Structure formats: structure tokens, C-alpha cells
Structure 1
């Protein structure tokens, strides 16, 4: 078998090389380096031969950035279905239009800077620009490790040319605005907003919540699943800390019981087939609410209640800000909201800390004087 070894940084590596004839009868060598094991190199060589015979072999030197990115993502195993779909969208909508036509082995610093500039000109959020940049950078690190490129252009970038990780946008309603909202809100899904503001639950967590996840006797909600786009249900939460128990107040309990009564009444009055999966927020037939037109739905709610426009996700920030300004410990807020770490909580709501410091110092002053 045409498998050969070579030394790299004091370690033995392997590559394959074999000759073929193209359709004109001319000889060419198919070669690939970067394998850390002989067995791995042999398996790759067999596959390359099969692909050549089927006419599917692609010379790496002729791959475009789009082709490489799509192939790299297709072979990546450590990503969830949702993340894969998001990354496929980034490649199709942002990466390919900007640099997709360039030969992947010829990508240079100028091309990367052009990609970053095009993303910023589209008005994408700083966090989104950073994620897309990191997606391409990670793919090219893989290519460098497999020795598909001689140099990684991302290693040549100036620090100032890299997109900065912008601070997440945080907006929220005041105590007065929350009271005003609930005083004029009259909607079948009122419970959706009660849970968002009083518990800080994420949208997908609320829409995935079932009555069987609620322990009324012990006043707790258990986050066991989240609703994803196109009606998919994901077990657990967004992260390890997101699968959590949330203590609910008497007011929230009362609202949940009232809402359940409304659902049962609708079921009997409408006399329609009811899919009883016990979803708290559901259509009249029991099906979980759709995420597809959620933004339009939220905008309609804001218009009908004549409230200041914020994102639905900002209701979660509203919960956190009201808790912190009332004196709640940041650790309690972290656990309630299901943040991955206390650092996330402090980074998001650090602007509220000066008020907390002032109140603490005033209490200390009163204690000692």
C-alpha cells in the first residue's frame, strides 16, 4: 500500500500517495498528508481511490471556500441539529456571498477582513459577527491541522482586525411599566408573559412547559424540555444549568391554575379533537404554540397594550433587574435564570451593581452609626 511516514515536530506522521491517469491518459499523483496513524492513512487512501474511480474525487487545491466549509461542517460530529442548521445558514447567507468563490487554499488576510466588513455593513449584531468569524476560523484550524493548507491566514491577522465580542444588549421594563402592562393585558396567553417576567424563563422553556412539569404542592416548576423552531422538542435546557427547578410565588400559582381552567373550558366549548400533551401554552387543539411568527405576535401585543417596545427576551432581563434592585443576591438570580455561570449574570447586569453597593453601604452606615 502507498502509505509513507515522515517526521513532524519529533513525531511520526503518515501520508498516502498514488498515481492515476486522467481521462486524457496523463499521469497525476493523488496525495494527502497529516495522518497521525498508519491505519487512518490507509483508510483514507482506500476512500480516495474509490472516489477517484467514481469520479467524485475533488483536488483540495481546487476547492472553493464554500465547498470546503460545507464539507467540513457535514463531517463535523460534535454539533447539535440546531447548531448545524444555524451554521449552514451562516455559510449560505453570509460566508459564501462574501468569500465563497475564493479557492480555499488561497484565502488571505485581505479576504478575511472583507468578510468581517461585509457582516458589519449588513448591520448584524456584534455577537453574530463574532460567531460567523469564529466558524470560519475553526474550519481553517482544522485544515491547518490536517495539513491541507501551508499557512493559516487567521494567524496573520492583526488583533485590531478581529471582530470584538460586543456586550449583549440589555433592555428591560421598570416596575411601573410592568404594572401598567398587566393592567391592560387581556389575552388568552397572558400566562406566557407572567412566566417570563415573574420567573425569567426563556421563551423556548415557557413554550415547552407542561402542566406535569409543575409541582403545585411544593410551588416549583421543573425545566425538562424546550420548544425549538418547526415544532421540535429538545430535552433539557439550553445548557447544563438550564435544566433546573424554579420556585414560583402564590401569584404565579394562581395564574397557572386560572389558565388551566381556561384551557379545559375551551376544550369542552369548542368540541374539537384535543391533543393532550398538557402544554401550558398551546393552541385550542392542545398543540404547542408555534415559534414561526412569534416576533409578529409580540409586536402585536406591544401595539395593543401601547407599551414601550422591547424584545420578548428582555422580559427575562426585566425579571433579573427587578430582583437585583430589590436586593436579591446575584447567585440567586443566576440559579433562577439558569445562566451557565455567575460571571454571565454579573457581566449582563453589572450596571445595576452600583445601586446595590450604595444600598449596602447605607445599611452598613446605619448599623454602625
Structure 2
């Protein structure tokens, strides 16, 4: 069998190579490297021969990037369904129009630079450009490790040419804007906004919150499950840090009790009730429709004379109020469920100068 060893990084690897004739009778060599064992190489060689004989073999030198990246993404196991759908959208809208029709092995630095420029010309945010760039770079890193390509163009790219990471978009309401908005809302879903502002919980955490996770006696809210973007209940949260308990104020507990009374009345009035123990649900008990909720949010903010912000910005609103009240960033991190205090500090660093002024003034007072 045409299996051969070679050295890579001081370790023995294997490749296969065999000759065939194309439909014009011209001889060509089919070759692939990157196998860590002789058996693995032999099995791959046998499969390649079978594919050639069936007419389904794809020559790596002619493999288009769009075919490679689609197959590569399909085989990735370490991403969520939401991330996979997002990446598929990026491939269709931003990646394939520039790189898709070029053979993987022929893509060079000039192609990558043109790809970056195309995203910037579309007016994509700095953060989005960086995410798409990282996705494509990771796909090339994988192709290089598997020795599908001999050179990785990303390794040759100047640092100055790479897109810079964008600062997370942060907007928030003032105390006055919060009061105006909450006073204008007279709806059974008002509790969603109250929870977001008073606790900084994520949308999925609020829509997936169960009554059993609201501890009225000890004034605690436990985050244990979420509602995902498809409207399905997930008995998990975004990160390990997301599993947390949040202290609930007297005002928040009073609003929750009022809302619980409403839910109990709806249970009795409904012809058929699907009890998922959800704090936030439809009148028949089923989970909230995420798409409809976003429409509801936009209608409400347009109806009231306040600045238009995203629902996620209510989470930032909670953080800004806490930090402006000199609450330690570590407490804010724990409440919001950030994976580290660095995330909190990086996201809300623009709020820190005011805290530093207060700290310096306090130190000055102590040392007088």
C-alpha cells in the first residue's frame, strides 16, 4: 500500500500517495498528509481510492473554500445551535461572496485583506467584523493542522491589518427614564422589565425563571434554567458563573407577589393551562414567544417618551445604577453572572472614573 512516513515536529506522521488517470487519460497523483498513525493513513487511502473509482473524490487542490467551511462548521461540536445559525448567516452573507469560490489552497494574504475590507465597507460593527474574522481564521488554522493546506495565510498577515476587537455596546437609562417608563406600563408583562432593571438578569434567564426558584422567605432569586431563542426551556444557563443567587429587594418581592396573584387568577380562568411553573408566561401557561416579546418591547418604548434602547440594555442599566452607587464591581459581577470580574471591568470601565474620584476624596479625608 502507498503509505509513507515523514517527520513533523520531531514526531512520526504518515501520508498516502497513489496515481490515477483522469477522464482524459492524464496521470495524476492523489496525496494527503497529516495522519498520526499508519492504520489511519491506510484507511484514508482506501477510502480515497473508493471515492475516486465511484467518481465522488474531491481533489484537495480544487476544493472550494465554501465547500470546506460548510463541512468544517457541520462537524464542529463545541458550539451552541444559536452560534451555528449565526455562523451560517455570516458564511452566506459575508464570507462566501468574497472567499467562497476560491480554492482553499489558493487563498492568500491579498484575499484575506480584501475580505476584511469588504466587511468594513458594509458598515458592520467593529465587534462583528472581529468575530467573523476569528471564525474564518479558526477554519484556516484547522485546515493547516490537518495539512489540507501547506501554508496558513493568516500566519503571514500583519498585525496592523487584523481587525481590532470592538468594545461591547453599552447603553442604559437614567433613573428618571426608568421611572417614566415603568409608570407608563400597565401590562401583565411589566414584571419582565422590573426583573431586568432590579436584578440585571439576562432575557433568557427572566423568561425561564420558575416560581420554585423565587425564595420569598430568604429574599433570593436562583438562576437555574433559561428560555432559549427558539422559545424552548433549557435546564441550564449561559456559563457556570450564570448559576447564581440574586438578592431581591422588598420592592421587587412585592411586585413578584402581585404578579403571582395575577398568574393564579389566569390559571383558574383558562380552559386549558400548561403549567411549567414559569414566572413569565402566556395566559395559558406556555413559555413566552421570544419574537413577539421583542415586538412588544419595541412598541412599548416607542409609545413612551424615553430614549430607544435594546432590552439587553436594561441589564446595563442595572449595572450602571449599582456602580454609580459605589457598589463594588465584584458584587456587580456576581449579580450579573459574568464569568470574571475582568468582564465586568472591561464592559463598564467608562463608569469607573466617578468611583475613583470618590475613592481619592475618601482617602484624602482619611489622611488629613
What's the offset of the Cα at 1:300? 0.6
What's the offset of the Cα at 1:21? 4.2
| Residues 294 and 47 of structure 1, relative CA distance in 2, 3 Å threshold | farther
What's the offset of the Cα at 1:92? 1.6
Moved more, 17-26 or 178-187: 17-26
User: Counterpart of 1:66?
Assistant: 66
User: Counterpart of 1:337?
Assistant: 336
Structure 1 distance, partners of 2:125, 2:192, is: 27
User: Counterpart of 1:287?
Assistant: 286
User: Counterpart of 2:262?
Assistant: 262
* Over 6 Å off, 4+ runs: none
Structure 2 distance, partners of 1:151, 1:281, is: 53
| Residues 142 and 251 of structure 1, relative CA distance in 2, 3 Å threshold | same
Equivalent residue runs for 1:58-97 within 5 Å: 58-97=58-97
| Residues 234 and 20 of structure 1, relative CA distance in 2, 3 Å threshold | farther
What's the offset of the Cα at 1:289? 0.9
What's the offset of the Cα at 1:40? 2.2
- Residue 169 of structure 2 aligns to a residue whose secondary structure is coil
Equivalent residue runs for 1:1-369 within 5 Å: 1-23=1-23, 26-269=26-269, 271-369=270-368
What's the offset of the Cα at 1:77? 2.5
Moved more, 353-362 or 74-83: 74-83
Structure 1 distance, partners of 2:45, 2:225, is: 44
Structure 2 distance, partners of 1:217, 1:253, is: 10
What's the offset of the Cα at 1:22? 4.0
What's the offset of the Cα at 1:313? 0.8
What's the offset of the Cα at 1:292? 2.2
| Residues 50 and 313 of structure 1, relative CA distance in 2, 3 Å threshold | same
Query: Which TM-score applies when normalising by structure 2?
Result: 0.94
Structure 2 distance, partners of 1:50, 1:222, is: 56
Q: Deviations over 1:309-368 (max 9, x none)?
A: 111111111100100111110000001101111111111111111111222222333344
8 Å contact from structure 2 (residues 220, 247) kept in 1: yes
Structure 2 distance, partners of 1:45, 1:69, is: 23
8 Å contact from structure 2 (residues 200, 335) kept in 1: yes
What's the offset of the Cα at 1:24? 5.1
- Residue 292 of structure 1 aligns to a residue whose secondary structure is helix
What's the offset of the Cα at 1:299? 1.3
What's the offset of the Cα at 1:30? 2.2
Structure 1 distance, partners of 2:157, 2:293, is: 40
Q: Deviations over 1:3-47 (max 9, x none)?
A: 210122332110112334444555433210011222322232233
Structure 1 unpaired stretches of 5+? none
Structure 2 distance, partners of 1:115, 1:7, is: 35
| Residues 235 and 115 of structure 1, relative CA distance in 2, 3 Å threshold | farther
- Residue 229 of structure 1 aligns to a residue whose secondary structure is coil
- Residue 28 of structure 1 aligns to a residue whose secondary structure is strand
- Residue 290 of structure 2 aligns to a residue whose secondary structure is coil
Structure 2 unpaired stretches of 5+? none
Structure 2 distance, partners of 1:262, 1:121, is: 51
Structure 2 distance, partners of 1:339, 1:291, is: 23
Q: How many residues align?
A: 368
Query: Which TM-score applies when normalising by structure 1?
Result: 0.94
Structure 2 distance, partners of 1:296, 1:117, is: 34
| Residues 332 and 102 of structure 1, relative CA distance in 2, 3 Å threshold | same
8 Å contact from structure 2 (residues 266, 284) kept in 1: no
Structure 2 distance, partners of 1:88, 1:200, is: 30
| Residues 19 and 288 of structure 1, relative CA distance in 2, 3 Å threshold | same
Structure 2 distance, partners of 1:337, 1:307, is: 24
